[in-house]
Amino acid sequence: MNDRCRQISLVKGSQRYVFRYCEGDEPNVLDAFRTLAGRNESGFDWFDAAVLCFKMARRLERELDRENAASEPPAKAAG
């Protein structure tokens, strides 16, 4: 198991929402977004959850792109 720590945050007016988690725990973080968005008193709504889900997905996509690029064999020179 990889224990690389992650953080994702959202600033909304005077509120600051910070979620810290370990790599691989993304499904639990998504559940936390859903739970928090379902609470009217939290000030965190479904749009906020969608924004953070999008940010998390973009981060994962960039990491996969880097890993794929690192694992590709070097291109042969034309000649």
Give the model's pLDDT for residue 54: 96
Alpha helices in 1-79 (DSSP H): 26-37, 46-71
The arithmetic mean of pLDDT across residues 9-35, rounded, is 94
pLDDT digits (tens, 9 = 90+) for 23-36: 999 999 999 999 99
Is pTM beyond 0.85? Reply is no
Q: What angle do CA 63, 69, 29 make, to 5 degrees?
A: 10
pLDDT digits (tens, 9 = 90+) for 32-69: 999 999 998 989 999 999 999 999 999 999 988 888 88
Domain residue spans in the chain? 5-68
Three-class DSSP category at 42: helix
